[in-house]
Chain A
Amino acid sequence: MEELKAAWQNMGAGQHKSPEDLKQYLRKLPVRRSVLFQMILETAALTLFLVFYYDAFDGDKKPLYLNLLLAGAVGFVILHNLTGIAQAMNVLKGKNLRDVLSGYASRLKIFAAISVASRAGMYICLLLFFTWAVELNTFKVWVLIGAALVFLGQMLLLVRVWLKRIAAADPDRFAGE
């Protein structure tokens, strides 16, 4: 074990960043770039949809309650994304690893539950909006089933991603025995 300790303590001995190099890291955006990028992209796309859907998809020909439902559901997802972007910049809090993981995991579970529920709500509102007053025939029913399956697939993927993230932050990994 002493040899392992020596190897660990010498690891990265050749690498060095000066205080000036390190200063650059303080000037950059915090990372989780993939998550942030995905959230920003989705928020931008949904905002565009919200701005243009009324004219593009004949919102004036649909009942007011459907417009309100759709705008509300999409708006909620946008707001939730914005809180996610803010949370990604948050500082980890806790006096030890177990505390940090515990706080982080509970915030993540709430965020994930709202994320899944709000997207499910948005998909349902989208389906209601676009199928309102449409006379269904066999072809349209199949298109509808296809769209529902795509939405369902996306939801399952989303649930899987969140479960993986929550499992990674499981505080019980530092539980006592």
Chain B
Amino acid sequence: MIMDERQFLQQLSEHEGILFKICRLYRDTPEDREDLFQEIVYQLWKSLPGYEARSKFSTWIYKIALSTALVHFRRRRPAIVYMPALPEVPAQMEENRLLELLAPLDAADKALMALYLEDLSYAEIAEITGITENNVGVRLNRIRARIKKHVNSTSWKN
């Protein structure tokens, strides 16, 4: 698929949410997230000639973004910063709680959950990760069971 720089940036701008989410999921500090964001944009741009319109643009972005997050070295361990408690807006609370639930998962399981939470089908998840659809189902069942243990039966936000 031929796409010039302007078209690429336009498309990327429409799907940038994917990049924000992957950076938040895999990196703990704003500096590390910015580094990863930059690396993903670089990898997407350089990989663009290999993009075939057979798959959705968002699926292709997920594949490159997750690959980059998995191999990209972290700059540093997250610093522990003690701050006075600040009121969080509900959306931030939900985000933080979700990330807390996903944090104990290993990098591969995080990738599977990210794709599942994005509402991709098992076939699409299998295409991105390279494991069989059957295996996607088995692994997601395990991960969901693990997460449910930590979630209150009435509301996950508790």
Chain A residues in contact with chain B, CB under 8 A? 1, 3-5, 7-20, 22-23, 25-26, 28, 30-35, 91-101, 104, 165, 168-169, 173-177
Whether the Cβ atoms of B13 and A177 lie closer than 8 Å is no
Which of B39, B95, B111, B138 makes the CB contact (< 8 A) with A31?
A: B39
- Knowing A30-B42, A31-B42, say if A12 contacts B20 (CB, 8 Å): yes
Task: Identify 10 residue pairs between A and B in the complex whose beta-carbon atoms are under 8 Å apart, listed by A's number.
Answer: A4-B117, A7-B95, A15-B20, A19-B9, A19-B10, A22-B41, A34-B73, A96-B127, A104-B71, A177-B135
Whether the Cβ atoms of B9 and A22 lie closer than 8 Å is yes
Could you say which residues of chain A place their CB within 8 Å of the CB of B3?
A: none
Count of A-B contacts judged by CB separation below 8 Å = 147
Could you say which residues of chain A place their CB within 8 Å of the CB of B88?
A: none
Complex alpha-carbon distance, A17 and B128, angstroms: 25
Known pairs A7-B98, A15-B20, A32-B35 / 16 extra A-B pairs, C-beta < 8 Å:
A4-B117, A7-B95, A8-B21, A8-B117, A14-B91, A16-B16, A19-B6, A19-B10, A22-B13, A31-B42, A93-B50, A94-B67, A95-B130, A101-B70, A165-B73, A168-B107
Which of A3, A19, A28, A100 makes the CB contact (< 8 A) with B38?
A: A28
Which of B46, B67, B98 makes the CB contact (< 8 A) with A8?
A: B98
Whether the Cβ atoms of B43 and A92 lie closer than 8 Å is yes
B57 within 8 A of A: no
Complex alpha-carbon distance, A71 and B54, angstroms: 53
Whether the Cβ atoms of A92 and B67 lie closer than 8 Å is yes
Q: Chain B 1-32, CB within 8 Å of chain A: the 1/0 string?
A: 00001100110110011001100100000000
Which of B21, B68, B98, B130 makes the CB contact (< 8 A) with A92?
A: B68
Whether the Cβ atoms of A11 and B42 lie closer than 8 Å is no
Whether the Cβ atoms of A7 and B20 lie closer than 8 Å is no
Whether the Cβ atoms of B12 and A176 lie closer than 8 Å is no
Of chain A, the residue at the smallest CB distance from B31 is A33
Of listed B50, B117, B130, residue having the most chain A CB within 10 A: B130
